[in-house]
């Protein structure tokens, strides 16, 4: 059996390089999240302004139709309804 020292090891302190790298990573993540939310908001605004369906807009985005539908729900954009055909009376 290996003998273990009775004195505890000193508490670990991360290096300055590791602490700085973590800070930079957190800052980058926050910037990413801000840009992501701004992009999703712009997609919702585009849906509302253009009148395009989720499927037609999704073709121009890196998202699926379902993701575009979720973005529309998130920002309260009603789905585009197909126009109804009125009967013609003679």
Q: Residue 14 carries which DSSP code?
A: -
Tens digits of per-residue pLDDT, 16-39? 999 999 999 999 999 999 999 999
The Cα 7–Cα 1 span in angstroms is 18
pLDDT at residue 46 greater than cutoff 70? yes
Q: Are the beta carbons of 75 and 40 closer than 8 angstroms?
A: yes
**pLDDT band at residue 2 using 50, 70 and 90 as cut-offs:** low
pLDDT at residue 66 greater than cutoff 90? yes
Average pLDDT of the chain?
89
SS (H, E, C) the chain: CCCCCCCCCCCCCCCHHHHHHHHHHHHHHHHHHHHHHHHHHHHHHHHHHHCCCHHHHHCCCCCCHHHHHHHHHHCCCCCCCCCCCCCCCC
């Amino acid at each position: 059996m290996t003998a273990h020292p009775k004195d505890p090891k000193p508490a670990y302190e991360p290096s300055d390089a590791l602490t700085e790298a973590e800070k930079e990573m957190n800052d980058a993540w926050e910037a990413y999240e801000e840009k992501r939310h701004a992009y999703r908001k712009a997609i919702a605004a585009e849906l509302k302004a253009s009148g395009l369906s989720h499927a037609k807009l999704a073709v121009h985005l890196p998202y699926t139709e379902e993701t575009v539908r979720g973005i529309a729900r998130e920002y309260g954009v009603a789905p585009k309804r197909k126009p109804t055909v009125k009967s013609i009376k003679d």
